[in-house]
Amino acid sequence: MTLIAAEKTGAEWPESWRLLSHGIRTGRYTDPAFLKLEFEQLWTKVWQAAARLDEIPARGDYTTYTIGDQSVIIVRVDDDTIKAFHNVCPHRGTALSDGGCGHFEKDRIICPFHGWRWDLQGNNQFVLERHEFKSGKLEDKDVALREVEHVVFAGFVFINFDKNPIPFDDFISPVKQLLEDLAIGEMRNYWWKGIAVPANWKVAQEAFFEGYHVPATHPQLEVKAAAVVYGDDPNAEVEFTHHNITTDAFPYGHGRFYAGKNTAMQGKTNYPDGVDPVDAMADRLNLLAEGMDAQVLKADVEIARSLKGKPIPEGSSLGAEFVKALYTDAAKKQRPMPKPEPEVLGMWGGEFFIFPNLLILPNAGNAMIYRVMPDARDPDKCTFEILSTKTYPADEAVPRAIREDVTDYMNPEQVLEIPRQDLGNIPRMQKGLHSLGCKQIWLAENYEKMIMNMHREMDKYLGAPTES
């Protein structure tokens, strides 16, 4: 595959689209021409997460994926087979699905216009008045549904419109093993929401590429640190959460950040005088459970509280005992869990970014997932999706994943506190990027390096001029 488009000259590449050694020009977020180039050169060639298997649990189920003006139907053929087809009837171009999820009754895909019909494999079964076409010599293969390259990985269906794409195994290799070890592919739908946000898709997802925003955006999670940020004592020495975070920028635009053992899930909590360490850890976890209902769930908090009053064995720790309790509970319920290995446990509470628009925040058998979709024509709009997933006990039914569209993302009845705090900032960023006083954004070299890594990978697809 030729990954890079014909390289543009400096004159053809506007100054407002350039990457700088210390930041990014704002036109990449605001210029309709840049959005158009993304659709032409990035989204037509990149592997992208089109669906979760939870959307198509049974034979004949389908879901529809739309990116720009392209639409794909993803179909469950049987327990082991998935198909992805261009969402178009080869007769007159009618879309076979008008969006969302559904079910093909009797294993038949039928065009609503003239009744042409296919099986779940995309093979044509019926053409009304077949003798009228191609002088009576129309063959089934002439009008079979056109397939789209796809791969199933970690519970996702990834698709690629390129006829000769980069091998998926190469593309996913920097993050593949850890995602498998974290049991992301064993997690199933808990809830899924879609939110229309007035911001560029890159602005929306970059808000989650670092922990540097936590003291100001989520002060309830770092009370002392937030006090420093808001000016009570700007010279005070405070241990910010992001000080403990390691950030990695990987090939193919991927990245991750994690805090290792320095997380609430591992028992790392500041204990005020007179406060029981179990209470402190459980209260901290409960902020996440109540504020997101994803990544950390109420059941995790109850397991943490069950440790109160129990002695900690010599050589162990509160965090280690909590992890043991989680795995013991999961084993009783026959609930899949991540591999209990240090590197895997160290990712709990962290984040993976899979280029170009998928973020996975893993935890103890749960994960919060973000997918950010560009608007087809407006660089100031996007759809921000939040998926809460978890592993289920063997005897518990799993709900089919169907997206709920949020009508007001600042309504606490529709969006919980922590994502609501983030979503409150994102439109303000987009507004500021249009200011005549803002020609570039500045990026922290360590904390925000995943952002720059993503843009550099984008430029390979977009054909940006290389620096001399």
Alpha-carbon distance of 280 to 273, in angstroms, equals: 11
* Position 275 in a domain: yes
What values do phi and psi take at 212, rounded to 5? Answer: -65, -25
Q: Residue 85: which domain range? A: 48-165
**The domain boundary residue, chosen from 109, 136, 165:** 165
Tell me the CATH number at 283.
3.90.380
What global pTM score does this model have?
Answer: 0.92
- Please report which confidence band the pLDDT of residue 90 belongs to, taking 50, 70 and 90 as the band edges: very high
pLDDT at 450: 95
Q: For residue range 106-152, list pLDDT tens digits in order.
A: 999 999 999 999 999 999 999 999 999 999 999 999 999 999 999 99
Percent of the chain beyond pLDDT 90?
82
Same domain, yes or no: 362 and 448: yes
* Most confident stretch, 2-11, 70-79, 212-221: 70-79
Q: Is the pLDDT of residue 381 over 60?
A: yes
158 and 189 fall within a common domain: no
Same domain, yes or no: 103 and 202: no
Sign of CA dihedral 450, 191, 289, 348: negative
Residue 26 lies in a domain: no
H or E element in which residue 17 lies: none
What integer is the mean pLDDT of 75-82? 97
Is the predicted pLDDT of residue 228 greater than 60, yes or no? no
| Residue 37 forms part of a structural domain | no
pLDDT of residue 1: 43
CB 92 within 8 A of CB 81: no
What's the pLDDT score for residue 2? Answer: 43
166 CB neighbour count, 10 Å cutoff: 15
Question: What pLDDT does 467 receive?
Answer: 64
What pLDDT, on the 0 to 100 scale, is given for residue 220?
Answer: 72
Torsion, Cα 195 197 201 206, to 10 degrees, reads: -90
Distance CA 41, CA 60 (A): 33
Looking at residue 4, what is its pLDDT? 47
Residue with tokens 């500041």: 270
Phi first, then psi: what are they for 381, rounded to 5°?
A: -135, 155
The reply to whether 193 and 144 lie within a common domain is no
Domain membership flag for residue 7: no
Among 99, 134, 165, the domain boundary falls at 165
DSSP labels, 157-202: EEEE--SSPPPHHHHHHHHHHHHHHTTGGG-EEEEEEEEEESS-HH
Alpha helices in 184-317 (DSSP H): 201-206, 214-217, 223-229, 277-292, 298-305
- Write out pLDDT tens, residues 361-378: 999 999 999 999 999 999
CATH number at residue 140: 2.102.10.10
Q: Do residues 253 and 371 both lie within one domain? A: yes
Asked, for residue 8, whether it belongs to a domain, the answer is no
Q: Which of 309, 307, 289, 310 lies closest to 298 in space, CA to CA?
A: 289
- Clarify whether residues 144 and 205 are in a common domain: no
- Tell which wins on pLDDT, 354 or 276: 354
Whether 382 has a pLDDT exceeding 60, the answer reads yes
CA-to-CA distance for 117 and 353, rounded, in angstroms?
40
On whether both 150 and 288 belong to a single domain, the answer is no
- Tokens 């170009």 correspond to 356
Q: What is the pLDDT of residue 270?
A: 58
Pair (161, 190) in one structural domain: no
CB 51 within 8 A of CB 63: yes
User: Taking 50 as the threshold, does the pLDDT of residue 339 lie above it?
Assistant: yes
Residue 239 confidence (pLDDT):
58
Is residue 153 domain-shared with residue 204, that is, in the same domain? no
pLDDT band with cut points at 50, 70 and 90 for residue 231:
low
How far apart CA 154 and CA 358 sit, in angstroms, is 12
Instruction: Tell me whether residue 154 is in a domain.
Output: yes
The answer to whether residue 467 is domain-embedded is no
Domain co-membership, 272 together with 360: yes
Same domain, 129 and 198: no
Across the chain, what does the average pLDDT equal? Answer: 91
Can you give the pLDDT at residue 244? 73
- What tens digit of pLDDT does each residue of 164-183 get? 999 999 999 999 999 999 99
Locus of tokens 């900032």? 425
Q: What is the distance between the terminal CA atoms of the chain, rounded to a whole angstrom?
A: 25
- Asked if residue 111 belongs to a domain, the reply is yes
Per-residue pLDDT of 255-303, as tens digits, reads 999 986 555 555 555 556 678 889 988 998 999 999 999 999 999 999 9
Tokens of 398: 């799993």
State how many domains the chain has: 2
What does the alpha-carbon distance between residue 28 and residue 139 come to, in Å, rounded to a whole number?
A: 47
